[in-house]
Amino acid sequence: MEAVKRFFAENGKALVVGVVLGIGALVGWRYWNGHQDDSMREASLAYQNVTSAVKADQPQTLEAVEKFAADNKNTYGALAALELAQQFVDKNELDKAATQLQNGLSSTKDENMQALINLRLARIQIQQKQADAALKTLDSVKGEGWVAMVADLRGEALLSKGDKQGARDAWSKAKRDPMQLRKLFVPGLLSLTLLSGCSLFSGEEDVVKMSPLPTVENQFTPQKAWSTSVGDGIGDFYSNLHPAWQGSTIYAADRRGTVKAVNADDGKEEWKVDLSEKTGFFSSNIPALLSGGLTVDGGHVYVGSEKAKVFALNTSDGSIAWQTKVAGEALSRPVVSDGVVLIHTSNGMLQALNEADGAVKWSVNLDMPALSLRGESAPATAFGAAIVGGDNGRVSAVLMQQGQLIWQQRISQATGATEIDRLSDVDTTPVIVNGVVYALAYNGNLTALDLRSGQIMWKREMGSVNDFIVDGNRIYLVDQNDRVVALNVDGGVTLWTQSDLLHRNLTAPVLYNGYLVVGDSEGYMHWINNDDGRFVAQQKVDSSGFQTTPVVASDKLLIQAKDGTLYAIKR
């Protein structure tokens, strides 16, 4: 039950707004062009009204969607059935969710939409311990564009029956590494299945092979100072829920809602709180779905959630100082500056909350396309302005106290033959040094901008979803193919490239003790000479692997594994 709940609930607005608006924009637009009759026009308008109500969290939304789904036996009605299924999953009513998906199947003749619904239905059936029914449902999914997703779910169904070899065989048919997909899209299959029927990939673009582990002769052996468990971690879901550090205390969290403070010297627990929702004496708690990373400033630890909440916890004991509902999933790390807490939400809103009580001071709509990557840029701040990247390929400067837009500059243009090629998100955090803003887009450019005007000073074709480093006269980054690259800050000239870690799903890089360090999805940490890009050490740290950004805390390097284990490494 918890797995399917996470599948739906973890996406919160992403399923309602992402599926309804995202697929609605794609499928609905094609219907608009192909079937411009009066009934479809009316359905389109009514559909927009329903989705607007969902987006605004208006009362009676569920009843409105139920009526819309019953009255519209077309693709729009099928989309409404998808939203209803999500609502019932939120209520732990899987039977009703399955019924809505079956109703949605009868509402549309579009094969791609039917495939999408069947994949959702199979997911629920697996969680209902109906593996045979799920396998039968998956058999009805047609089309080459869905092969990898069907194989992924088929593997889960077979594994639930105890057929480990069958599961391995099924997963081997998924040509693209699933962790690479999770790195880019909504966790699990949501965004992937949402998009694969729309020419996401072309030709051999699906085939991605992880580089073998490079052979490294260690020049030194990094030491584990201590380790401690922090809940269940992030599992296989995409999240950059990294720890934070202040003084003698380190703060870390897991997706379900555990937040833990430990002593920086020995890792011993100072306090622990649970932000998951209590549902009753005999029921398991509903996960808080914490995301984006922790921020500690003064007397508060800040963390956002995919349920559109931001929490401020007292650093002394973890008690909640305040919590605030925000405009959408809080996928970026909270940023505290000039008395405000800045949050960039999944629906393209930049919001400023009062640091003292969490009250919303202002909101700015940064605009977002119908299709985007999972994740949002955390703002950088300087001279009273917040600089933030957007899913539309632009970098924006906003006055922190008033929420007034100062300038916008496009650094990435949506071009290419496939939907993936046209992704232009700026999900990395800009870096501001000496009046220059450095920003990095996926499928775009590494760009240097003038802080005052936003004018482009230089740009270099380079893409990534990982945060990057500017140190002295160098820029260090991990690109979207997991090359580790060093460039000069003057013009972006490449100084060296380390290509032996391709597609190992690297973390963002960190500079520690004179070395560049990255983690990978197999749990290795790679230490690189920042002068020439050569490996100097390699260490297997954790079997569950790494995804979140490492953090330097005084003389230690912190990194949290996907299973929740927090490690302190010393050189």
Q: What is the pLDDT of residues 114-153, one digit of tens each?
A: 888 898 899 889 888 899 999 999 998 887 667 767 887 8
Amino acid identity, residue 93? E
Residue 23, pLDDT above cutoff 50: no
Q: What angle do CA 325, 240, 245 make, to 5 degrees?
A: 90
The C-alpha torsion from 570 through 464 and 408 to 437, rounded to 10°, is 40
**Among 334, 364, 333, 322, which residue's Cα sits nearest to residue 347?**
364
Binning pLDDT at 50, 70 and 90, where does residue 208 land?
low
Higher pLDDT, 255 or 392: 255
pLDDT at 309: 95
Amino acid identity, residue 262? V
**Among 381, 384, 358, 450, which residue's Cα sits nearest to residue 411?**
450
d(CA 156, CA 171): 9
Dig out the tokens for 370 from the structure: 């119908």
Binning pLDDT at 50, 70 and 90, where does residue 46 land?
low
Residue pair 530/486 in contact (Cβ under 8 Å)? The answer is yes
Phi and psi, residue 448, nearest 5° = -105, 125
Domain 2-206 adopts which CATH fold? 1.25.40
Dig out the tokens for 428 from the structure: 């990395």
pLDDT tens digits along 230-240: 999 988 777 88
pLDDT tens digits along 154-194: 888 888 888 878 877 776 664 433 334 434 443 333 333 33
d(CA 165, CA 204): 27
Alpha-carbon separation of residue 275 from 232, 278, 400 (angstroms): 14, 9, 29
User: Could you tell me the pTM of the whole model?
Assistant: 0.69
Binning pLDDT at 50, 70 and 90, where does residue 425 land?
confident
Alpha-carbon separation of residue 523 from 222, 243, 460, 567 (angstroms): 14, 17, 31, 11
Element (H, E) at 258: strand 258-263
> Looking at residues 422-431, what average pLDDT do you find?
86
Element (H, E) at 467: none
Percent of the chain with pLDDT strictly greater than 90: 53
**Among 178, 180, 124, which residue's Cα sits nearest to residue 151?**
178
Alpha-carbon separation of residue 52 from 45, 47, 217, 295 (angstroms): 11, 9, 58, 32
Exposed (0-12), middle (13-18) or buried (19+): which is 262, by Cβ within 10 Å?
buried
Binning pLDDT at 50, 70 and 90, where does residue 564 land?
very high
d(CA 124, CA 133): 10
**Among 123, 18, 73, which residue's Cα sits nearest to residue 369?**
18
Residue 199, pLDDT above cutoff 70: no
pLDDT tens digits along 262-302: 999 999 999 999 999 887 555 567 889 999 899 999 999 99
Phi and psi, residue 207, nearest 5° = -85, 115
Residue pair 328/309 in contact (Cβ under 8 Å)? The answer is no
Higher pLDDT, 356 or 106: 356
| Residue 361, CA atoms < 13 Å, CB-side half-sphere | 19
Amino acid identity, residue 486? A
pLDDT, mean over the chain: 82
Residue 405, pLDDT above cutoff 60: yes
pLDDT at 233: 92
pLDDT tens digits along 60-101: 566 777 777 787 777 777 877 877 787 777 677 889 889 889
Amino acid identity, residue 538? Q
Class of domain 212-228+468-571: mainly beta
Sign of the CA dihedral with 290 first, then 292, 293, and 294 last? negative
Percent of the chain with pLDDT strictly greater than 70: 78
pLDDT at 172: 66
d(CA 432, CA 4): 41
Residue the block writes with tokens 């972006």: 492
Higher pLDDT, 329 or 423: 329
Binning pLDDT at 50, 70 and 90, where does residue 520 land?
very high
Alpha-carbon separation of residue 134 from 93, 146, 155, 277 (angstroms): 18, 15, 11, 30
pLDDT at 417: 57
d(CA 122, CA 110): 18
Q: Maximum distance among all alpha carbons in the chain? A: 72
d(CA 501, CA 484): 8
Residue-range domain boundaries for the chain: 2-206, 212-228+468-571
pLDDT at 81: 81
pLDDT at 226: 98
Residue 242, pLDDT above cutoff 90: yes
The 3 state secondary structure assigned to 276-339 is CECCCCCCCCECCCEEEEEEEECCEEEEEECCCEEEEEECCCCCEEEEEECCCCECCCCEEECC
The residues facing 349 across adjacent strands are: 365
